[in-house]
Structures are given as C-alpha cells and as structure tokens.
Structure 1
Amino acid sequence: MSQEFLLEVSRLGKDFAPVAFARGPVVRAVQDVSFNIKRGEVVGLVGESGSGKTTIGRMVAQLIEPTSGSIRFEGSETTSLSRRELRGLHARVQYIFQDPFASLSPRMTIGEILTEGLDIQRIGSRSERAAKAAQALASVDLPPDAISRYPHEFSGGQRQRIGIARALTLAPELIVADEPVSALDVSIQAQIVNLLRDLQMRLGLTMLFIAHDLAVVEYVADTVIVLYLGRIMEMAPSRELYASPQHPYTRALLSAVPSPDPSRHANRQILKGDIPSPANPPSGCVFRTRCPVAVDACASAVPPLREGTKGHFKACIRDDLG
C-alpha cells in the first residue's frame, strides 16, 4: 500500500463512443491525466465547461469506467473491481453533486436520504443509523427537525448542505465535490464554501474539489490542477500557482477573476472563441487555437507535462514565459 498518497491517478483517459445507431466521431473527453492526492489534502480541479472535470471526478469515484489508465486508492487498483468490491469502495469515496435538487429523491425524507448509504452498506442498527444521520445534519448546521421533512421544503443552499451531510454519514476517506456551489446564488456560495473548508479542517477530509471558478478553488485547495479539453495544462501548489502562473491558459483564467485592485487586470488576457469540441480537438497543444502566444511548433506535438520549479508542472513548449 502506498504510504504517501491516498489516491494515485496515472495516464487516465476516457472516450465516449456514439450512442447505438448514431453516427459520429469518438469523443476524447479525458486524455493522459495523472495526479496524486495525499491524505488530508484538497486538490482543486479547475477549467471551463467541457474540459473533462466532471468526467475525471466520476471516474475517480468509479461512477463511470475509464477507457485507459490507472486509479489506485490506498495502493489498490480500482478500475477492475467486482460488484461487491465496488460497493465497498463507494463507502470510502463519496460524491457531492452539482445540482442539490436533482441528486435528492423527492419521495424520500431527509432521514431516509441520509441513512440510505448506511442501509446499503449494512452499517449499524436502525437507532445507530438514525444517530449518524442526526450527527451529520448537525455538522452542516441544519436543525434536528429537518430529518422528517422532504427536499422540496428546503432552499438550494440547504439542499446542498443535505448533500454534504449525506456524503459525511459514511465517514468517507475521500470526497469528490463536483462543482458544489455553481448552481447556487452568489451569496449562498460563500456559505457552502466556508462550510466545506471548516469541515475539511475539523474532520481532516481528503477532497477532490471540482470547479470552474478559480477564486473558489484558491480558497479551499492545497494543490490546483488546471484542465483544458481533457488535458492538464498546469499543476502546482495553490499559493505558487496563483502567485506565479506559468501556462498562458492559467494566466488568462486568473486575469478574468474579479478583483477590487485595478492593477491586477493591467495585462488582462481575453480568451477568444469557445473551447473546441473534444470530438475534433486541435493537433499538438489543444490550447493553441486560443493561445495568445502560440507559435507554429505548437501544432506539431502534444507538449508533455514538465516540472519547472519543484512541484510546479506545465504543459507548454514555451520556456520563455516565466
């Protein structure tokens, strides 16, 4: 068993073939993605819509199967588990979904939702499951009487708290938080982010935090991975990445983050056009069609993810952008 990392992802790939009887190219949603997560660490996975973030999160949680590559959890491969082994993994890796309403059954009470995972895993007696559900509700600052109510009786922010509580009931070793605040009002987003940060620090949670908002990721993540069209563009400790971004894509994303300091946007970079289709990605560097510093050589070969300063990686052939 690996002593250093809880999760090890190596050369992960995911292709989506056309649905039955449909014509079209294979969609390469994720290509050659590798990263590790230490126990107690929060890794932020950030990128525009269509970059493959959610696909990676679902593969890590084994909600979908990868096409290629390896996922090791506590040193054991998870991509070839039996159904019984997979059920055990799902108790240890929990998922917080983007849409808090769609992820909660309207026919179940909050108590039933919170104890469902415990029922499936056959953990504890009925009274012990109820106690765990009540404890999870309290940890996300919801009142005890919420346990007998239904999802439609709660606001969006409260429903997301319920989703977080559901993930906590099984005391997971890893939580995949898939854009947990993007469907919420801005005023509520800060409350949920603060709650997740507080829970992480108090419970020592290990988390893969997926978002498209770099400002949110900066607040919660120890390490940040910047993804574009299914490939990693840059990966570094959070403070270093925000202080000294090395990839043109990261710099463009950071320059778009709202700031009260006008000087921060003195060299603002505006990305032109939309992210290309993963069914027809550009040759060479997938970012080159929107990159403000691209050269002819960028079309020739896929740039490898190379380490510059210790722990800071970028996938770019330009070494003169430091």
Structure 2
Amino acid sequence: MTVNTPLLSVSALSKHFPPVAFGRGPVVRAVEDVSFDVPHGQVVGLVGESGSGKTTIARMAAQLVAPTSGRIIFDGLDTARASRAERRRLHARIQYIFQDPFASLSPRMTIGQILTEGLDIQRIGTANERREKARSVLASVDLPPDALDRYAHEFSGGQRQRIGIARALALEPEMIVADEPVSALDVSIQAQIINLLRELQIRLNLTMLFIAHDLAVVEYIADTVIVLYLGRIMEKAPARQLYSAPQHPYTRALLSSVPSPDPTRRANRQILTGDIPSPANPPSGCVFRTRCPVAIDACAGIVPPLREVAPGHFKACIRDDLDGLMVQGAVR
C-alpha cells in the first residue's frame, strides 16, 4: 500500500437520527452527504463548531455507529458488507481515543486490566504476554510500569489521556480515531498530548482521523483539514494550503478567531453572529447562509457542491470573489 492510498474512504455518508419524542418531530440530520479519504500514514483533521457532525462521523468511521446511507471502505473492505469475523477484526484495526479522559476509563478496573481488555476480547497472547504488552504501551506514552496496578482516579487528566492513548495502541491498530482528545485538558497539557500523538503517529506510521473544534490545535498535527458546518463539508484542503489561503467564509471566520500575538490580525477579525442552527431544522440551500457575511438570495435555493478551486483544494460556496466581497460586505 502506497502512502497516498486511502486506508479509509467514505462516500456520500449521511446519518439521520429519528425523533426522540415518541416518534414525533423532525429527523435530526447530523451528517449529510460527506465524502473524503484518509490516506495511509497520514492525519486528516475534522474541524467545526459543536453540532457540526464531527463526532458522528468519527463514530461511523470507527464502526461504533451505523450510517443511514453512504459507504465506508476500510482497506478495500465495504464495512456494511463485513462478516461478523471481519467486523471483529475491524474493531482491533481501528481504535478510538475518547474526548473525556475521566469518563472513558472504568474506575473499577486497574490500568493493567484496562490496557489488556482489548487483547483479552481479541484473544491475543497469553496472560503474561498481555501484561508485558500493557507495560510496553505505558512506556510509549511516558508512564511508569507501576501504573499497571493503580486505578484511574490516582492520575491527573493529562495522565489519564495518556492511558487512553495507550489503550488504543495496545492492539497495534492501523488507524486511530481521536475524538477531541485535548479539549477536556488544561491548555498547558494540550501541547504535550498533541506532540505525543504526532510522535507516535510518525514512529508507528499510524493513519489518524483527528477531530477538534479548534483550528489552531489541528494545525500542528494534520496533513489535510476538512471544515464542517451543520453536517456538511464547507472546505477541504492540504493543511498548509488551507491555513495560508482559506477559501470559504466559514473557514476564514474560524481562523480569524484563533488568538494571535500579532496585533495587526485583530483588524481582520470576522465575528460570526448568532448560533449554529439545529440539525433538526437546517436552513435551505447553503446551511451556512444564515450566518454568512457574503450570502445572497441565491444561497437559499442552492446546496453548493464541493468544487476544486486549486489543486487538491475544495470549497462549497457559490461566491467566487471572496476577497473583494469580505471587504465590501454582503449583498443579500
């Protein structure tokens, strides 16, 4: 498999949740017609505000939630057609790092039991070999071997997330799905965890789907960035290209909100008004139009397709001259 071969490929992926109140009310359209590839050995970042569909996509990719429609292909296997044995192997090949390091670790299990649980389920090795594997993955995340006999409450938030990372690595997966792995941590600890993930990804040649709501966090780890809004892709590009030349007004607004030591950036800050709409009642046409600074009447009737505006750089917007429009203001 070459570096650019997709290990994971999703096409026209959608997830709709039924009404929760006795079958009444609108369907929640959490994800709508999303397509992207995660090349072998690379990191793809999914970014967007709360309610953008990031975690739902992550859970579908990790086989924790079934899609309503669309296809998920992992290493050539259509996951919807996988046999029970193939699905069991998929759960070992794709591992998940959860957002909350406090809630994701059982308080009743020792760290050794937590780290060997997946090995037990997959029936890998003897008890001594599993214990040795647990000790090895602890060392890979810079935790001492005596942690094996302790409990999660004895560790700090950053240490617990390291344990969560070690648990994901224990089965030697080909792909890691990291669902906002630093959002629950102090800022001083976030950089340590990001650096650890990047180091492990390079050393182990891991493929990674990295979810975050902060573009500044994704910048340090992702090769490709996908910007989501209300379940749809707004922009998709190589990371350096997206950060240096963002094409979608939503991406520009997110980037302008990132704190910067450069005082001249404040003059270019673009503040979005209002809240993200409910996925149970999304706007017609372009879902971003109700908060977009350059929206026009036509945006209400057109769902903008993702189109290539530069090599490998895609945006979903019918407006072309965004630089001029951002200065002049919207024509509604």
TM-score by length of 1: 0.98
Is residue 2:47 matched to residue 1:46?
Answer: yes
Shift of the alpha carbon at 1:22?
4.5
Most deviating of 14-23 and 292-301: 14-23
Shift of the alpha carbon at 1:67?
0.1
Determine the structure 2 residue equivalent to 1:195: 196
Q: Return the alpha-carbon distance in structure 1 between the equivalents of residues 322 and 107 of structure 2.
A: 52
The secondary structure found in structure 2 opposite 1:19 is coil
1:71-82 equivalence runs, <5 A: 71-82=72-83
The secondary structure found in structure 1 opposite 2:32 is strand
Is residue 2:308 matched to residue 1:307?
Answer: yes
Most deviating of 134-143 and 198-207: 198-207
Is residue 2:206 matched to residue 1:186?
Answer: no
Determine the structure 2 residue equivalent to 1:95: 96
Shift of the alpha carbon at 1:126?
1.1
Which structure 2 segments of 5+ residues have no match?
324-332
Is residue 2:239 matched to residue 1:238?
Answer: yes
Determine the structure 2 residue equivalent to 1:247: 248
Q: Return the alpha-carbon distance in structure 1 between the equivalents of residues 221 and 242 of structure 2.
A: 14
Q: Return the alpha-carbon distance in structure 1 between the equivalents of residues 184 and 23 of structure 2.
A: 32
Is residue 2:294 matched to residue 1:293?
Answer: yes
Cα RMSD (Å): 1.2
Determine the structure 1 residue equivalent to 2:105: 104
1:1-322 equivalence runs, <5 A: 4-19=5-20, 21-321=22-322
Shift of the alpha carbon at 1:80?
3.3
Shift of the alpha carbon at 1:131?
1.1
Q: Return the alpha-carbon distance in structure 2 between the equivalents of residues 120 and 87 of structure 1.
A: 9
Shift of the alpha carbon at 1:193?
0.8
Q: Return the alpha-carbon distance in structure 1 between the equivalents of residues 300 and 21 of structure 2.
A: 33
Aligned residue pairs, count = 322
Amino acid at match of 1:240: Q
Q: Return the alpha-carbon distance in structure 2 between the equivalents of residues 234 and 68 of structure 1.
A: 22
Amino acid at match of 2:102: F
Q: Return the alpha-carbon distance in structure 2 between the equivalents of residues 111 and 185 of structure 1.
A: 26
Amino acid at match of 2:134: A
Most deviating of 41-50 and 19-28: 19-28
Shift of the alpha carbon at 1:172?
0.4
Q: Return the alpha-carbon distance in structure 1 between the equivalents of residues 299 and 92 of structure 2.
A: 44
Shift of the alpha carbon at 1:83?
3.2
Q: Return the alpha-carbon distance in structure 2 between the equivalents of residues 301 and 316 of structure 1.
A: 10
Q: Return the alpha-carbon distance in structure 2 between the equivalents of residues 80 and 278 of structure 1.
A: 29
Per-residue CA distance 1:46-104 (angstroms, 9 max, x = gap): 00000000000000001000000000001110123333322110000000000011111
Amino acid at match of 2:225: V
The secondary structure found in structure 1 opposite 2:260 is coil
The secondary structure found in structure 2 opposite 1:266 is helix
Q: Return the alpha-carbon distance in structure 1 between the equivalents of residues 250 and 22 of structure 2.
A: 37
Amino acid at match of 1:310: P
Whether the aligned pair in 2 keeps the contact of 1:285 and 1:299 (CA below 8 Å) is: yes
Q: Return the alpha-carbon distance in structure 1 between the equivalents of residues 119 and 202 of structure 2.
A: 24
Amino acid at match of 1:125: T
Q: Return the alpha-carbon distance in structure 2 between the equivalents of residues 155 and 7 of structure 1.
A: 33
Amino acid at match of 2:57: I
Per-residue CA distance 1:29-58 (angstroms, 9 max, x = gap): 000000001111000000000000000000
Q: Return the alpha-carbon distance in structure 1 between the equivalents of residues 80 and 54 of structure 2.
A: 18
Q: Return the alpha-carbon distance in structure 1 between the equivalents of residues 221 and 165 of structure 2.
A: 15
Determine the structure 1 residue equivalent to 2:329: none
Whether the aligned pair in 2 keeps the contact of 1:62 and 1:79 (CA below 8 Å) is: no
Amino acid at match of 1:313: F
Whether the aligned pair in 2 keeps the contact of 1:115 and 1:169 (CA below 8 Å) is: yes
Shift of the alpha carbon at 1:202?
1.4
The secondary structure found in structure 1 opposite 2:116 is helix
The secondary structure found in structure 1 opposite 2:85 is helix
